Structure 1
Amino acid sequence: MLIAVSALKGYAILATDGRIGSVSDVLFDDESWRLRWLVVDTGTWLSERKVLVHPSAIGQVDHRAQELPVRMSKAQIERSPDLARDRPVSLQMQSQLYDYYGWDPVWGGSGYFGGGLGMVGSLGYSDMGAPRMPNRHASDEGDPHLRSITTVTGSHLQATDGEIGHVENMLIDDASWDIRYLIVDTKNWWFGKHVLISPYAVKGIAWSEHTIRLDVTRDRVKTSPAWDPIAMIDQVYEKSLHNHYGWRGYGF
């Protein structure tokens, strides 16, 4: 099922023995376009401490109740490595979490982007190859490929011949936790319209400039299959969208 990533904020996190808090942010990897961590605000339970939850720990999502069950106990979470307040998430911190919970650092996603997208500095893409493996000797500096959905929202999208709009949201697959599409608000160029852009179209990112560069033209975007934000996205629509741009399919 595809859901807007912003909808996850506020979802309750249910440990095996009770509620631990709610989702305050979502972090994704800008190489693989996979959700990597849920940032969970534990409120008064752990003195307003924040913890990270890996998608591999998430059970069956209950969207109606807005609950995410996780295969973790409250005691485990209480003893987990502490997430430093107001500091970026480091590779070292991630490595400690993988070791503590026994999570697989290469878990995640469908692999749709595994051979096609990979960051080259902050300017372009090449084949990613094997996933990055956090290690015990990793730097304590922030992971340069870990991005907050909150900070990425609003980034400008630049087509080959001009800007088309900004990132309003993202659609993720709640089974694989891949980011399937960027939801683009085109109001400053094409008033009243929203379009979907796959990470397949991304050819470069300059996060310091809040800009994502695409390998499509404005005309290509304007003639893409119309998207209704209220309607459910089905496979027929996705096939039409991918055929229009020449993108590979997501298993169809």
Structure 2
Amino acid sequence: MSDHLWGYKPTSGHTAGADLIGYSVEATDGSVGKVDKHSDEVGSAYLVVDTGVWIFGKDVLLPAGTIKAVDTENRTIFVDLTKDQIKDSPEFDKHKHTGDPGYHAQLDSYYTSHRLT
């Protein structure tokens, strides 16, 4: 796995320990949902995003390295992915995949090939 994908970019504005639950998540082309869970764990930081009705109530796991910016004033997180890239990501089951290294490797491969920046 590439560590840079599983860590917050220094330029993202994220502060370690900040509670991101409930923040809106915006792709480059629109809203994708709200943060349901997040991790600051070094080398395995991520967001679990509840997409609501946008993709039929599914959750998605976004590695922290996909975050472009955190706007604490407006409680919004901007990611450097399109809605389709997020929608087409490997299927996520929060009961099985959150801490699964194999799933993280699958996501690493997928998101590394779709990076916009």
Query: Normalising TM by the smaller chain, what interval?
Result: 0.7 to 0.9
Match of 1:118 among 3, 6, 10: 10
Q: Distance in 1 between matches of 2:64 and 2:8?
A: 10
State the one-letter code of the partner of 2:103. Answer: Y
1:195–1:227 Cα contact (<8 Å) kept = yes
CA displacement at 1:119 relative to structure 2: 2.8
Find the counterpart in structure 2 of residue 244 from structure 1.
110
Aligned sequence identity (%) = 31
**Any gaps of 5 or more consecutive residues in structure 2?**
none
CA displacement at 1:118 relative to structure 2: 1.2
- 1:234 and 2:100 matched: yes
Question: Greater Rg, structure 1 or structure 2?
Answer: 1
1:156–1:165 Cα contact (<8 Å) kept = yes
CA displacement at 1:180 relative to structure 2: 1.7
Number of residues paired by the alignment?
Answer: 108
2:17–2:40 Cα contact (<8 Å) kept = no
1:170–1:179 Cα contact (<8 Å) kept = no
CA deviation profile, 1:122-179 (whole Å, cap 9, x unmatched): 5xxxxxxxxxxxxxxxxxxxxx945532xx2100110011110111111454xx5x55
> Once superposed, which parts of structure 1, at least 4 consecutive aligned residues long, lie more than 3 Å away?
144-148
Q: Distance in 2 between matches of 1:238 and 1:231?
A: 11
Where do 1:7-156 residues align within 5 Å? 112-113=3-4, 117-119=9-11, 122=13, 145=15, 147-149=17-19, 152-156=20-24
CA displacement at 1:226 relative to structure 2: 0.5
- CA RMSD in angstroms, aligned pairs only: 2.6
Higher RCO (CA 8 Å, separation ≥ 6 residues): 2
Find the counterpart in structure 2 of residue 199 from structure 1.
64
